[in-house]
Amino acid sequence: MKNRVIVITGAGSGLGASLAKKYSEMGAHVCLLGRTENKLKEIGKQLPNNYSIHTIDVSKLNDVKRVFDTIVHTYGQIDILFNNAGVGIFNLAEELDEEAIHSMIDINLKGTIFCSGEVLKQMKKQNSGTIVNIVSTAGLIGKATESVYCASKFGVKGFTESLVIELTGTPISVFAAYMGGMNTDFWTGIFDENKTSKMMNPDDIAEIIMENIKPRKNIAIPEIIIKNIK
């Protein structure tokens, strides 16, 4: 991983932070992307190797262009993009307000589309790269009180599967991770500690993803499903 450039959205906590630490330990330069600079700085302090911080609103295309142009201009390449930024607001469909609906569609779906579109321009120029979309099992099956969250994640699933087809025969790979609930700040205010303590460890999920996206001769792994043991 030395001299590799890894870009992670939603890097300020949870799975994004776990991925950042593990790639940094391997010698990669990690670009920490997120909305809250202080959270990114706190993660950066925990990294043993070079990193950079980029505040971004992935739901705004101009902001995405600005950040990705800066990364490419500064470091010359992007080897792996993790579309990890996401938000979930759970309630009955008729109880969700307009802001909540826009937030989930804009960040979860449009953010993934915008970041992927920008990184593909660079990956096609360098003739290499990997896009990893963190989808959630909410992109595979509908769930009560998660209607719009599921809708956003089903959209990411369709987008990802289409990218796989578009990029078949190229050196660029696309990978989707569908996982159940992880013990992260995502669930703050939704579940109590008793429930979150039984969820998956994001460090474990990071290791599984990293192992599955390693390039291997004559092998392609477009997706994995990781479930909690109930």
Euclidean distance between CA atoms 55 and 9, whole angstroms: 10
Euclidean distance between CA atoms 222 and 230, whole angstroms: 26
**DSSP 3-state of 107:** helix
Q: In the structure encoding, which two tokens stand for residue 92, read together? A: 């009955």
Question: In the chain, helix, strand, coil percent, each to 5?
Answer: 45, 20, 35
For residue 38, count other CB atoms closer than 10 A to its CB: 9
Euclidean distance between CA atoms 83 and 101, whole angstroms: 20
Give catalytic residues, as residue numbers: 149
